[in-house]
Structure formats: structure tokens, C-alpha cells
Structure 1
Amino acid sequence: MLEKVEKPTHQQETIQDIAVRLLKEQVCTLPIEKIPKEQTIFVLGSKCVGKSTAINKFFDREYTNPKPTLALEYSYGRRSQKQVLNIWELGSLKSSSQLFELPLRMQGIEHFSSVLMLDLSQPQCLWSDLEEAFNGLKKVSDQMLDSSDDGVRERYRNRAAERIKKNHNEISTLDLQPFPIVLVGGKYDLFIDQEPETKMHVCRFLRSVAHLVGGSLLFYSSKLPKLAKTLRDTFNHLGFGSPTNPFRSHTVDFNDALSIWFGTDSWDNISNAGPQYLKDIGAELNKHVPQLQVNLNIEPVKEPANDAGFREGIIDEMRSQKMEELKLMLKQLDLRVQFENVGLPK
């Protein structure tokens, strides 16, 4: 007589399921000091503002003419076996909304910070670049927080408050973000010769934005060693925790290179306008420094890569390879998130 064989009540485990299960079983026995501490910095902003140059200088890579960034570039560095820094660079803000998600989700908000670089030599583009970059970051982080429980959201709110000094008397007027934002005014060497009135309103705009989001503000030029070193030290601070405060001075004079650390500015010191929302800050800049308006209703431009008249063998191959790499990263994202959500020993 044949014995009855019971069918399994659950689907067969995949390799990914097994990997996650084994991690959960082993992580409780892993000494906490053996677990690498990873941080992620997302560098984005105006096109050709010097993002790649700043990253290359941080990694001591000297390129006379760095190649343009295609889509999303990744680099990493180690200070020791226990400290790893991941740096993502977004090449262009245009049509890149889906690329904001990868750097944020790979390590999670807790280990994430952003360096937002704007081109001071193009003051008429400051608002459009700032708005596009900030809205992209905020959209993804808000989605992540919405899917978190109340305790997690409260923890991020407390950390944001601690970043700007928890007893800051203007904290109720700020739109604090759950991760550090360093606002960088790039190409300062070309900004020096702008009209004093333009410099005053641009500096007021950037200070207002940085203060509103609980960020810090730094002017930068790769051609000015002192400013280049400060930005490099800032990368070190965000990635490895030292130096404690890479901004060696507090500078708010619009005739000089601004240097304002987290929580050290105030609405009263910026202007007599008082607390403002982001849109109001942008509108105020537009009154004095007219901004280029982005027309969202124009017909989409045809993709040159799909036009036979624009085919370039080497470039098309590089672009195809880059897109395949990004697709693979996105496929692996869900698995990475599962691993990151496994509880570590206290």
C-alpha cells in the first residue's frame, strides 16, 4: 500500500530566500565589531558644475579632462576594513527621476547624506536646478518614511533636530530633512566678479534654502585650494565622521566665500523677511535675479539614441552598457533592502 505524501504548503525557496534566511540565522552570532559600517553620499546638482572633479580629488584621482558622467556613476573607498564609503554621482537632473531611488535605498536613510552642488556662474538657473534636485530627493525619502512605522519616523525627526542643535529656537519654522544635506555653491572663482547686488541676493537665497532644510552651505572652486580642501574634508566628515566640523570658519558675508555649518544660521541673520517656504524663497530670488523658467508643456524631444542619423558605435555601446548596469542594480535592490532590514545585534 502506497504511503500518502503530503505536498508542501509553501512554495520552494529561491536562492534569494535562502540567502536572507541564512543571514537572519547567523547575524545574531556575528560580533558587532566585525560588521562593516557603510555610509552613502549622493552627489547631484547642476550640470558641469564640478561634481566629478570634486569626487576625483577626494579619491586622489587626477584627471586633466574628466569624462562627462553618464546617468549614474558609482565609486567607493575604505578607511579600514570596518568603514566603507559609497559615493553616487548623478550626471544630469533632466529626466532622471527614477535614478534618485537607487542611492537612497541601497543603504537606507540612516546611512545616507547628500551633497547638492549648484553652479554660481549661472545664477539664472539656480532655482530650477535646486528645485529639481531637492524635489527628487524629498519624493523618494518621503515614500520611504511613509512605509516606515511611527517609531522610525520619530527617530529620524530627532536626529534631524540634533543635527542643527535640538534647542534651536526656530526649529518649528524649518522643514528638516531626515538626512544631512550640504548645499555647495560651485565655480565660486567665476562668481566673484558678479555684481554686488546679484551676489547679495544669490547668497540670501542659498542661505535661506540651507537653513529651511536644516542643511549646511559651502562655496567651492576646484581652482581655490582652501575651498577645495574644505569640500574634501566635508566628504570625509559625511563618510567617516572626521573631522568633526570641516568648516574651519563661519562666513556669512556675501563678498566672501560662504561657509555655514549645520544649525548656525537664523532667519533674522539672513534677512528681515522672516520664516519662508521653499516656493517663497524661490519667488524672492526671481524678483531680483530673473530665473529661467522650465517649460513643462513642450513636446518631448526625440531620443537621439533611437535615431539612426545620430548613431555612434562607441558612444552607443557605452550607453547601452551603462543602462544594463543600472537595470541590474535595480533588480538587486529589493534583495539588498531585505538584507539591510535584518536586525543586527545590539
Structure 2
Amino acid sequence: MVAVASILIQFNALTGCSSSNGDSKASTTTDSAATQAAAPVADSVRKESSAPTAVADTATEADPLKADTLKFSGTLPDTLLPNHRILAYYGNPHSTRMGILGEYPRKEMLRRLDQEAARWQKADPSKPIQKALHLVAISAQGSPQKDGKYRLRMSDKTIRKVISWGAQHGAIVFLDIQVGLADLKGEMEYLEKYLKLPYVHLGIDPEFSMKSGAKPGTKIGTYDAADINKAIQFLSRVAKENNLPPKVLVVHRFTQRMVTNYQNIKLDPRVAVVIDMDGWGPPSLKIDSYRDYIVKEPVQYTGFKLFYKNDLKKVDKRSKHKVPHLMEPEEVLALDPKPLYIQYQ
């Protein structure tokens, strides 16, 4: 396989107020290497750096470019939401530090996804679990590319590889966009050929939409309702032209300014819109963020993100727990409304 070609620095954009959580999602990756530094920053946003960890693509499974590897295993529901609860593993296969999707070898990662899905199904038997893989397919960068857009598109091989993992395992796939200084429309068009598959859906991350021209990772970005409407219209057209079931659009959010003019978001029957509470921290802060930024500004469906590592950085002083605590399914399901999209990083 191809050897490691480059190493990129990863940034974290974090918040530190009492009603929100910092987010240390991975923001950069390449088809060969990625790094992460995860340190909370109080009341500020700043670039963090650490010694890079290179991860080569050494996959040996069947050629993911072959069409037969993209055939969905199992029955694909005609309508996912609100009839199902989606349980997604987030990350990139070329980074062990961007999220659970790339932290373990494929078979181990999928085994863990199955176990997590079983826990959630037991916690709420009334709502069938639909497993998912959530790939950072276009990643914000700390340095400009040749076009100066501060974002990197994953290769066709990488994207199809993850799609094939999902297809063979009965898991739908989300392709996530971190635009940097690029235009959302152009990045969606880059992914359109994959979105024509009935089990491939879209995620967009306002955190790395740098409308001010700032470098990704130095400030928290933003999307307006007009941007989200463009994504809805784009997915609606893809669904209509290809006679597909409704698409799902996941919009990440953990601050007030990450989504502006929410009341102007225009829903479409061909697209299910999820606003995903994307911050990390102790449970009480995560619940506050869900209440303040998701529930108070409702769009359609809600999501909730859990961090296997970053949620365990601090003790929750407003709970009975004496050690850092990752929220259990039952705790998340006690929220109102109950999130229909659950993501683990």
C-alpha cells in the first residue's frame, strides 16, 4: 500500500462557558496521516499542537472501488427518521485520534459498534437502531492548499472504502464536510456521486466554516440558515433525481453563533434535518448545551454526541459521580426530546 506521504496538524476549537461544552473533534486528516491535540481551553479559542502520529493506509480488504462491495447488506428502511434511532461512529480510517471510526482495525471497530447498538436497543426497544459510520470526508486544515481553501478532500478510494465497510455491515454512511474557506456548494458537488447511493447521507460542520477568512482552529465558525437551506435543497434534488428515500442532513452545533437565523431554515419532505449537540464535557454541561442550543432553537430532529475520551476529562461537580463519567444511553434518553441521532467519537 501507499506509504505515509505527509503529516498535518490538527486543531481544536473549544468553548468554556457554563452552558456549553468545548469540542475537540478532529479537524484535519489526509489519506495517509493525521494528528490530534486535545486540551480544553477556558473562555477562549486557540490552536493546540502536539507531536504528530502518522497513520498509513494499510487496509487489505477487498478493493473498495468494486461495485459489489457497495451493495447494502440487509434491508434499507424507506424512511429513517423519525421511525429509527441512528447510532453512528465518527472519524477517519487514517487517524487513530480523530474518533472511534479510525481508532481500531475495521473488524474491531464494527464489533464495538454492534455492541453499542445492542445497548441502545435494550435501553429503548420501541425505536429500532440503525447503525452508521460518519466519515470526515472533507477536512479543515491548519494550512492552505494550492487553492488557498484550508480544506482537504479525501480520495475516492478512502471514501468508497468507508462506504463499503458500511454497506457490507448494514450500516448507513454519513459524509461530513468541514469547508474551511471553501464554498459549501462546491464541496457538496464533490460528494454528489456518493450521495446518489440510497444509504449515504450528509453532515456539515459550522465549526470549520470560516466566513471571516480566519484560519480553521483559531475561531469557531458559523453557518446561517441560508447555508443550511442550500444543503437541504441539494439533498432534496439528489433524492428526487435518483428516486431515493429521504436523505438525512446532520448539522453540528455547540454554541449560539454556530447556527444563525434558525427560524428561517426551510424543511423539505425529502430531507430529515438533525441538529446535533456536538460539545464535549461532563454530563451537566452537555445537557445544558442541548437545552440552550438545540431544544430552544428547534428545527426538526435532535442529535447528541458522546466522546469516549474527552467526556472523561473532568468530574461533573453537579452530579453524584465522583469520577469522570460517560453518559449512559438511559441518561441521554431522559432528555426531552429524546435524540434520534447518537454519535460517538
Q: TM-score, normalised by structure 1?
A: 0.34
Structure with the bigger percentage of strand: 2
Q: TM-score, normalised by structure 2?
A: 0.34
Higher relative contact order (CA 8 A, sep 6+): 1
Structure with the bigger percentage of helix: 1
Larger Rg: 1
